Structure 1
């Protein structure tokens, strides 16, 4: 897979006054042996509005790697390693100090943010020429900034809201809540009325709303539901504060929903994918969707924000982008940075973000009209909240959180007990994360 070439494309762009390749020729290379670069990416579905042949994001990353090999100034071998979504830690931390350690990682920020505090992820400020920074949306850029330095280059984002089955709503006498062409919001009283009406009218085997606590997968949507009674979830120090009255009220709202028939039976044992299947089969009235997945439902669904402390409700955003790791080889580190410079100074590869919400403003200008519901989701960005709370180790917190919801749904704990348990265990994980935290020097 090794190819030799030069930074001609980047030089052309720089000469044209567009974007500069900050890393090219910034470090003298030694020897003629190819530099080996490992790029890791989780298996992730991905659509591109101008290229129907793309169905997985790793195909795009592989194309970037091959282009970089072809256009780079010296021989380089790039290996793209694909791993499953539930294997982040095995693929990243589990490979540290081996020849499979990632030099570049592409992934969802709420997953890859954990690795910033290992001290191995390098700040990328030297990669980001002013023209590159100016082209990236502030809200997506800021997700990767820690203590004033950038540790992720955003590539695209998916914004999550809830979808409701219009036909089920109308059949339940809830036509007044069906809104066309907008992302709407309902008060908590309206949510309760809607869920009760659905529970009373849906046929056997169909259910009003998603709920699951079989694993940490999808738990970000459940924690967002806990904002329903006005809870901010976190206090000013970034610790869980569910024992406040608003948090307990939200936990009680969910627990009472079990007895009122709002959720599929034994939701404590369900996975998010179980609820996804029910929704696709027309057996679930309300389920999570994002701007990249709504096309599969056509005009059969409407969109609504999660219930939240504000009248406009809550949404979540999953920015995806690139990190660079320092594995103790200065030459490899520079090549990894040059790879990012190559991607972000090449319009072809930036364009392949056009399917989700591109981080690039120029790509959004070119393709926004073709991206399903693009304007709706960009306009809804103000309702996005940070479900990580700035935690230094989100994965460890997630490993704890879902177990508390599992017991709540089973009725093994009261809302007050669940809140106290989640506060204690999640905050212990947060404190442990801070104790081990270090940034790259």
Structure 2
């Protein structure tokens, strides 16, 4: 791709080019809304490119995917969208390939496993924008009160620690958020720790595999049925509520991402982190999550979009965003810079997990439907009268149907 220089593509015909970007909000209040990040970035870019105008609209994560879908369905696609999924739009032929947008150095700087996850049928359409991994958080004060010296390494140790925490009066020994907000994340973490995942090595759904059934059977029998997951049923516990309870000092252990660190620190909670426990030892891999940038072909402006996105992925901008929202950089050079920065040393456990982390099967056009089904149903797999195998078999049927386009 040939990127633009100087004043941008609009200079040739004297017309100002306006690009519309719809982006997700990573802030939790107006004061730290992502709108401020984009306003600052766009102001700097437009100063150097006076013939290009960037119009950024920020929506909450509750609304962003729906907003973009409605725009596309109405024939009014934005030039760029920074959202959670891309495969449906790619499969429908609506997106530019990454090769047609970004300069080679920028493309080559993406972390390999993130870049690969942005492909549909071996062509890249999704550009990773922000990443995170998950680790086990534990409350040091509650651990000390329960006589626990270190984080659990195995499921058996986690269950024993949860028993000790309950005996010491902890309200929620282990928080298991399988409510509809982000159940697909908690689910995948446990599936990975049990040696499997949503898909097998060739990308075929395996939700009802023996390993996965064994994982959820263990969760139900050893944690939920024994009352070790707190007063709220996992099917009704959302991640945000679990995080809030941890910051109130009510939770002994839970899986969390980097933003939980600042939340806990702000509330004075002393916590530790560790790799996720597995069936026999530490989990073979952690869950990695990335959100996506994509560019729609409807309005043209291929070169202008590519030039702007090259700027978006400059180290200074990637690092500014990552630091503002306690997220992990998606490029190699920014990741190295963050790893070497003593001010972000607390992110080291998450950075360490990222190269080997496994991501959602985001390149499958069926994933959005499967993810929605997991959010809706997986919590019932650990309810009092449930049979985990039956729930997982039902989800597998949904996944197979989604793959066929039923």
Do these two structures clear the TM 0.5 threshold for a shared fold by scoring above it?
Answer: yes
- Summarize the alignment of residues 184-223 of structure 1 with structure 2, pairs less than 5 Å apart: 186-203=153-170, 206-223=171-188
| Structure 2: segments with no counterpart, 5+ residues | none
CA contact (8 A) 1:316 1:386 kept: yes
1:304 maps to: 274
Structure-to-structure mapping, 1:108-257, within 5 angstroms: 108=84, 111-175=85-149, 177-178=150-151, 186-203=153-170, 206-256=171-221, 257=223
Structure 1 distance, partners of 2:279, 2:78, is 40
Deviates more, 1:318-327 or 1:290-299: 290-299
Say yes or no: does 1:420 pair with 2:387: no
8 Å Cα contact 2:289-2:359 kept in structure 1: no
In 2: Cα distance, 1:365 partner to 1:232 partner = 29
CA separation of 1:245 and 1:120: change in aligned 2, threshold 3 A: same
Which among 34, 42, 56 is matched to residue 65 of structure 1?
A: 42
Q: Which residue number in structure 1 is paired with residue 71 of structure 2?
A: 95
Residue of structure 1 in register with 2:83 after alignment: 107
Residue 134 of structure 1 and its aligned partner are, at CA, apart by 3.9
Report deviation, 1:67: 2.7
Change (3 A) 1:410 1:156: closer
Give the 3 Å change call, closer, same or farther, for CA 128–80 of structure 1 in structure 2: closer
* Alignment RMSD: 3.1
The answer to whether the 8 Å contact 1:188/1:229 transfers is no
Secondary structure in 1 aligned to 2:63?
helix
- The change in CA–CA distance for 1:140 and 1:292 in structure 2 (over 3 A counts) is farther
Structure 1 unaligned residues grouped into runs of 5+? 1-19, 47-52, 179-184, 436-441
1:359 matched residue in structure 2: 330
Is the Cα contact below 8 Å between 1:227 and 1:307 reproduced in 2? no
- Residue 22 of structure 1 pairs with residue 3 of structure 2: yes
Deviations 1:313-332 (A, max 9, x none): 132222244211111x32x3
Q: Deviations over 1:211-254 (max 9, x none)?
A: 23331434212232133433344234533323332221111112
* Structure 2 residue 23 is the aligned partner of structure 1 residue 41: yes
Q: 1:37-82: CA deviations, max 9, x gaps?
A: 2101111139xxxxxx9833332222222333332262x3322111
Change (3 A) 1:388 1:131: closer
CA contact (8 A) 2:3 2:303 kept: no
TM-score of the two chains, using structure 2 as the length reference: 0.85
Q: TM-score, normalised by structure 1?
A: 0.79
Contact 2:315–2:333 under 8 Å retained in 1: no
Deviation of 1:423 (Å): 1.3
Alpha-carbon shift at residue 267 of structure 1 (Å): 2.5
In the aligned structure 2, how far is the partner of 1:54 from the partner of 1:142?
35
Q: Is the 8 A contact 1:239 1:430 kept in 2?
A: no
Distance in 2 (alpha carbons) for counterparts of 1:40 and 1:384:
28
1:301 Cα deviation after fit: 1.2
Shift in Å, 1:340: 0.8
User: Residue in 2 aligned with 1:14?
Assistant: none
8 Å CA contact 2:135, 2:255 repeated in 1: yes
* 1:396 paired to 2:369: yes
Distance 1:244 1:135 in 2: 36
Structure 1 segments, 4+ long, off by >6 Å, are: 25-30
